[in-house]
Amino acid sequence: MRIEYLADNPSFISAIAHMHHGEWGSVNSDVSLESRIADLQNHLRRKKIPMTFISLFDGIFLGSISLVAHDMDTLMHLSPWLTGLYVVQGHRSRGVGTALVERVLLEAESIGVETLYLFTLDREYFFTRLGWFLVERTEYCGQKVIIMALNIADRNIAA
């Protein structure tokens, strides 16, 4: 399995946007598929937020993850955010998601990020296992969400 920048694999933009739209369309129902595609076009970067990574095995797409400045318009004072962790059905529970998270953490650290945030609907246990801690439980776009954070420096000390 390899994890690469989306910038080096832009042909996956449409597929990722479709997957994200299918998975999280209910959270941001006002976000169209077209706007998701346009947003991912802005992620074609290396070492600069926003950026997206993809996981590939023998050219087969396994999943994606992004690092963005903001993911919740109600918490603009928190930045940056891990977002869009998606692993293709059939490849879940095989370490792909963990590897994608680890890649974002390495990238975030390399560009000087000290604390990273995320929100999840139902994956609190997964992220807690990776060292993330609860910030708050709240409601966002009509959904109950869990906001979590990770202090990257603390994580490195524990490792």
Q: What is the CATH number of the domain that holds 103?
A: 3.40.630.30
In a domain, 75, yes or no: yes
In a domain, 138, yes or no: no
pLDDT digits (tens, 9 = 90+) for 19-29: 888 877 666 66
Alpha helix positions (H), 7-145? 13-24, 33-41, 96-110, 124-129
8 Å CB contact between 145 and 102: no
Q: How many domains does the chain have?
A: 1
Burial class (CB in 10 A: 0-12, 13-18, 19+), 118: buried
In a domain, 39, yes or no: yes
In a domain, 140, yes or no: no
CA 12, CA 21: separation in Å to the nearest integer?
Answer: 14
In a domain, 26, yes or no: yes
pLDDT digits (tens, 9 = 90+) for 60-70: 999 999 999 99
In a domain, 132, yes or no: no
Residue of higher predicted confidence among 55 and 157: 55
pLDDT digits (tens, 9 = 90+) for 75-132: 889 999 999 999 988 877 788 999 999 999 999 999 999 999 999 988 999 999 999 9
Query: What is the pLDDT at residue 159?
Result: 47
The two structure tokens encoding residue 106: 């390495």
In a domain, 129, yes or no: no
In a domain, 30, yes or no: yes
The two structure tokens encoding residue 24: 């999280």
* Boundaries of domain holding 82: 2-113
Rounded to an integer, the average pLDDT of 144-154 is 91
Full-model pTM: 0.89
